[in-house]
Amino acid sequence: KCYLQNAILSLHNKVLKQNPLFLALKLEDDFDFWKDPVIGRSADIMASPQMLPELQQFLSKHGIHYTGIPSLT
């Protein structure tokens, strides 16, 4: 697999009720968690350029804050 074009987002998991949403994302084949979602800690998730808009929309819809991690290139 080539990951150079993929985006990595650091998801801020500070609200307990958001955790099930992170677990639902983890079950998706389109996303790859680099750091597992744990209460009180951020989780890093990788998405392809094609799936990034869908991921960002999902996070925004559920009020989950995130920051981008610089590319691996």
The type of residue at 56 is: Q
pTM of the model: 0.71
pLDDT at 12: 76
pLDDT tens string, the chain, 73 residues long: the values are 555 578 888 877 665 455 677 777 777 778 887 776 666 777 788 888 888 999 899 888 888 888 887 655 4
71: closest CA among 55, 38, 48?
48
pLDDT at 42: 76
pLDDT at 6: 82
pLDDT at 71: 59
Using the CB atoms, write b or e for 36-54: b if 16+ within 10 Å: ebeeeebbbbbbeeebbee
Please give the structure tokens belonging to residue 68.
Answer: 């981008």
